[in-house]
A = this chain, B = another copy of it.
Amino acid sequence: MSDRCNFSHWLALEGLRATPVRLAVLEILGEALRALRAQEILELIRTRRRVNKVTVYRILEDFTRRGMVRKLSLEGRVNHFELACEHHPPHPHFQCQTCREVQCLEPVALNQMWTELRGPVGNRADHIDIKVEGLCHKCRDMA
């Protein structure tokens, strides 16, 4: 996906050491074609090395706070994560009601909606999450 990102350099810019676990998290998210759950990331890292889940959770939380990663609250209890590098601008997501799989959709222009979405005067709107729910083509074929 984002072959153009130099993760070590990115970490340095953030003042973070390029540790193996941090790099693994970024590489896995960079290769993913969809947003991943923390547990999926953990399991993928474990195919290469021994890691504690707390380490991965803390790294994901830290990356999210720094804006390097986006945390998606698509359904209760399980968060999904995706890279928030310059090559992955924010975009809507599709989630299938049957298999719960998540797809990334193309970015959409919100120009005219943006003003309506601010809500009561005085609110500062920082970003907009769009989630589409339905039945994915795979589950549709099965039915």
Contacts and interface: CB of A to CB of B under 8 A. Distances in A.
Contacts of A141: 122
Nearest to A117: B132
Contact of A120 (B103, B122, B129): B103
Contacts of A137: 120-123
A118 B76 CA distance: 22
Interface stretch (A3-11, A15-23, A105-113): A105-113
For chain A, give the interface size range: 35 or more
A86 interface: no
Nearest to A94: B119
Interface in A89-129: 92, 94, 97, 103, 105-106, 108, 113, 116-129
Given A128-B131, A131-B128, A122 B140 contact: yes
Interface of A: 71, 73-79, 92, 94, 97, 103, 105-106, 108, 113, 116-137, 140-141
Given A94-B123, A106-B116, 16 more contacts: A76-B79, A103-B119, A103-B123, A105-B116, A105-B117, A113-B113, A117-B130, A118-B134, A119-B132, A122-B136, A123-B136, A125-B132, A126-B135, A127-B132, A127-B134, A129-B130
